[in-house]
Amino acid sequence: RGPGNQVTNVIACVHLKREFDFRCPSVEDSISQQKDVQRAVEGAAVVLSCSYNSSVVSSLLWYRQYPGSPPQFLIMEYSGIITNPIPGMYITHIKQQRLVELQISSVAVTDSALYYCALSVLSSRCLTISSTCLVIV
């Protein structure tokens, strides 16, 4: 688990990021991660944050993707209702600030992955996605 692993994880994340970041055609609806890469030590609590710009939000979602695997759905907030809560993972929607956060209470090395926040707007039937690399050392 030395510096070589950390560099490998960041390179894998950046490669995935190039492939899967996606924006809907609508200029009005957007979502973006606060950081491209976030590092944390094993056992720490981590908060991943996304800000969004949309007048109508249907749902806010989080996904995780490991290199060589498809994205895995983690959690969703829809009108205050949380779907698929995973132990140790929490979603917070701060409407006034147009922020959505994913909190992981105690990260492990296996949590190193690419994390996507997504904004779903029913009127456009489109999912706007932004990603960040989380590297645990």
Structure confidence by residue, pLDDT tens digits, 18-63 = 444 455 555 567 788 878 888 999 999 999 999 988 877 778 999 9
Q: Residue 53: what pLDDT? A: 85
CATH number, residue 52: 2.60.40.10
Helix (H, G, I), strand (E, B) or coil at 126: strand
Q: Give the type of residue at 32.
A: S
Q: How confident is the model at residue 13 (pLDDT cuts 50, 70, 90)?
A: low
Residue 101 has pLDDT above 90, yes or no: yes
118 is in which domain, residue-wise? 3-136
Q: Residue 129: what pLDDT? A: 79
Q: Which range is least confidently modeled, 11-15, 95-99, 114-118, 120-124?
A: 11-15
Q: Where are the beta strands (DSSP E) in the chain?
A: 30-33, 37-40, 46-53, 59-65, 72-78, 81-83, 89-94, 99-104, 113-121, 126-136
Q: How many domains does the chain have?
A: 1
